A = this chain, B = another copy of it.
Amino acid sequence: MANVAVFGLGAMGYGIAQSILRAQHHVWGVDLDVSAVDRFQSAGGVTSDLEPGSLDAAVIVVLNADQTEDVLFGATGIALLMKPGAVVLGCATVPPDFARDMAARCKANQIHYLDAPISGGAAKAAAGQLSVMASGTGEAFEAARPILDAMADTVFELGDDAGAGSAMKAVNQMLAGIHIAAMAEAMTFGMTQGIAPADFLRVISKCAGTSWMLENRAPHIVDGDYTPHSSVTIWPKDLGIVRDIAQSAGFDAPITDTALAQYEKAIAMGLGAEDDAAIAKVYAAQAGLTLPRAKN
């Protein structure tokens, strides 16, 4: 049984913390939202304070690189709370260079850093069935193994360079973000030609035009349900990371840029907190279309 802290008890982090708890570890849940911490402690999380030198592993499931750095090395940074040889799993979507920097600074503190961004959504997080795009030293993988076993059913081992996991995550987010926007563009285009969203979903999901994201998000539009399983705000952040990396590499990514602009329009329309399928509202507004409304 390891001493594990999970930082960030949002939709993904809470599920990860639950999964690690189910694997019989001692788990501290940490979040600025006190109600989330209380809820996790009621579900079996450790209630005592973290003692210096006590943590075997820290799983950081915060929003971005700044928050990740703050958890590790900020004013109340946890690097000092960890045992020598302990491991940090960095799960946020961050630039590859940032992951490499964290790995170097952790190493200077005698702890391991596994670049470990995640994919799969809240339901898979709660079930311990995430996919992890992981890279880091053999020691980092070894120390992280019990945690990976608890939270994931697929671990892609992408080598010993701490940036490789984050690079693959950036590639995945690039496609996922494009595919959601393209789905919305195609569905609303179809509406201009008399194709109802439900027919779009029924037919295209069985044809060569389908994507994982189409099958996952198009039903939200068909049902008129924009409950934020994953919100619009994710995409300017993640596609912005992709754009920044691409620019640094001198790489033109015009489709990414175009999709990003559509998400920025959604934010400007006040849709940031809605499910990312709400990007369809950008197209509907432009073309004067009426999207399906929720039945209730």
**Are A207 and B119 in contact, CB atoms less than 8 angstroms apart?**
yes
* A178 interface contact, C-beta 8 A: yes
| A173-216 contacts to B (CB < 8 Å) | 173-176, 178-179, 181-183, 185-190, 192-195, 199-200, 202-204, 206-214, 216
A245 partner residues in chain B, CB cutoff 8 A: 189, 192-193
Known A195-B168, A242-B189; contact A178-B255, beta-carbon cutoff 8 A: yes
Determine the distance from Cα of A55 to Cα of B96 in the docked complex, in whole angstroms. 64
A187 partner residues in chain B, CB cutoff 8 A: 171
Distance to closest chain B CB from A240 (angstroms): 14
A178 partner residues in chain B, CB cutoff 8 A: 178, 182, 185-186, 255
**Are B209 and A179 in contact, CB atoms less than 8 angstroms apart?**
yes
| A220-269 contacts to B (CB < 8 Å) | 242, 245-246, 249-259, 261-262
A190 partner residues in chain B, CB cutoff 8 A: 167-168, 171
**Are A96 and B175 in contact, CB atoms less than 8 angstroms apart?**
no
* A161 interface contact, C-beta 8 A: yes
Q: Which residue on chain B has the smallest CB distance to residue A167?
A: B193
**Which A residues have a C-beta under 8 Å from some C-beta of B?**
96, 119-121, 131, 133, 154, 156, 158, 161, 163-164, 167-168, 170-176, 178-179, 181-183, 185-190, 192-195, 199-200, 202-204, 206-214, 216, 242, 245-246, 249-259, 261-262, 283, 286-288
**Are A200 and B186 in contact, CB atoms less than 8 angstroms apart?**
no
Known A182-B255, A255-B178; contact A161-B194, beta-carbon cutoff 8 A: yes
A288 partner residues in chain B, CB cutoff 8 A: 250
**Are B246 and A203 in contact, CB atoms less than 8 angstroms apart?**
no
**Are A216 and B208 in contact, CB atoms less than 8 angstroms apart?**
yes
Q: Which residue on chain B has the smallest CB distance to residue A261?
A: B254
A199 partner residues in chain B, CB cutoff 8 A: 158, 168
Most buried by B among A190, A194, A208, A245: A208
Determine the distance from Cα of A256 to Cα of B270 in the docked complex, in whole angstroms. 25
A175 partner residues in chain B, CB cutoff 8 A: 182-183, 186, 204, 209-211, 214
Distance to closest chain B CB from A164 (angstroms): 7
A156 partner residues in chain B, CB cutoff 8 A: 202-203, 206
Known A179-B182, A194-B167, A258-B258; contact A251-B286, beta-carbon cutoff 8 A: yes
Known A175-B183, A194-B167; contact A254-B250, beta-carbon cutoff 8 A: no
Determine the distance from Cα of A185 to Cα of B33 in the docked complex, in whole angstroms. 39
